[in-house]
Amino acid sequence: MKQMPRSFIVQLGIILAVGVGVSGCGSSTTSQGQSGTVQSLPDAGTAKANFPKASSTSLAKLKAKNQEALVLAPSVSVLEAGVNRYGFALFDVARKQTSGAPAAIYVANRNGTNLRGPFAARSESLAVAPQYASKTSSQDPDEAKSVYVADVPFPKAGRYQVVALVNLDGRIVLSSPFEAQVGTPGGPPKVGETAPKVHTPTLDSVAGDAARISTRSPAATGLLKDDLFDVYGKRPVALLFATPALCQSRVCGPVVDVLEEARATDKNGSAAYITNEIYKENRLDRGLRAQPAAYGLPTEPWLFVLDAQGRVVERIEGAFSLAEVRRAVAKAGG
């Protein structure tokens, strides 16, 4: 298989972050690391692909029966025992992204045993209304447009093989396997945990100079009004760590656009929407700002949705859709 484009896979510490570019819409979402069960193939569109049940096959049989024609490129690096929101993109050998095709994820132990799946993938759109699209996003041809998402359960910590089956015009093809590490110590706050209470910069704190605290063009000033410290424990909060102009995963610009539309169209109005840049003085060579460091971020972007008690009700690594933000804020009571 050919090497992935540099603009899509990069290293920030020890991570894999992916930018993607297709369109679509999503349905439900599941928090990373939450215990529970996932029904395979919950949507009719994917069910029509007739992906085999894990109980009737094996990873070795999948590899023997189906041509490996795609590269699986995850947009997540932090996985926990339980059900995870598993974001990913698919590319063919010519480095062209595959989009709109029914897809499902399978998971096996590191040695290929105990295959589980299929877990249906859906396409979550990063599209926004024209008035919320930034120059930062629209002028970058490599910026993300959507991401495949599957709710994937991992029974316990350890290493797993993850593959996707995809129906390309009636032909079932296999992705390259990707080894996933599940359950690493530390890291960002988990769903159900209390989030760190920190100050986040606002327009007032920089005398209105948005360029000091935002690399987006134009700055989304509505996302720079509230200091997390002031609204923490009082209101639901959608807190996004992202750096549109410096994002190594190429999805920060689009998700800031998504959060700005979520804020501007929130009819309830009880939630606070906040963005925080990643790097000190918006420079890669200055290291992380205090806020993403306090949250233990290994990648960017990350979205945390907190309830009015400061507990994390949803966290999403990488690309996400407007529908996902709205559902998460509603879950938080916003």
Q: Please indicate, yes or no, whether residues 241 and 294 belong to a single structural domain of this protein.
A: yes
Task: Look up the CATH number of the domain holding residue 157.
Answer: 2.60.40.10
- Which segment of 42-51, 105-114, 163-172, 308-317 scores lowest on mean pLDDT? 42-51
Domain shared by 208 and 158, yes or no: no
Same domain, 99 and 174: yes
Residues 152 and 249 in one domain: no
On whether both 108 and 61 belong to a single domain, the answer is: yes
Please tell me the pTM assigned to this model.
0.84
| pLDDT at residue 144, as a whole number | 64
Domain that holds residue 161: 44-182
Copy the structure tokens of residue 76. Answer: 């997540």
In a domain, 305, yes or no: yes
pLDDT at 137: 85
Q: What is the CATH number of the domain that holds 253?
A: 3.40.30.10
In a domain, 32, yes or no: no
Residue 135 falls inside a structural domain:
yes
Taking the alpha carbons of 301, 119, 54, 18 in that order, is the dihedral positive or negative?
negative
Q: Which residues have a Cβ under 8 Å from the Cβ of 206 and sit 6 or more positions away?
A: 212, 213
Assess whether 176 and 292 both reside in one domain. Answer: no
State which of 119, 152, 182 marks the end of a domain.
182
Same domain, 71 and 135: yes
Same domain, 138 and 208: no
Clarify whether residues 57 and 178 are in a common domain. Answer: yes
Q: Are residues 174 and 212 in the same domain?
A: no
- Give the CA dihedral 72, 78, 83, 87, nearest 10 degrees: -30
Q: What percent of the chain has pLDDT over 90?
A: 71
> Does residue 308 share a domain with residue 269?
yes
| pLDDT per residue as tens digits for the range 223-246 | 999 999 999 999 999 999 999 999
CA torsion angle for 106, 167, 74, 65 (degrees, to 10)? 50
In the chain, the amino acid numbered 62 is L
Q: Give the pLDDT band (50/70/90) at residue 12.
A: very low
Instruction: Provide the number of structural domains found in the chain.
Output: 2
Confidence of residue 150 (pLDDT cuts 50, 70, 90): very high
CB atoms within 10 A of CB 320: 31
Which of 69, 65, 62 lies closest to 1 in space, CA to CA?
69
**Domain shared by 177 and 52, yes or no:** yes
Residue 123 banded pLDDT, cuts 50, 70, 90? confident
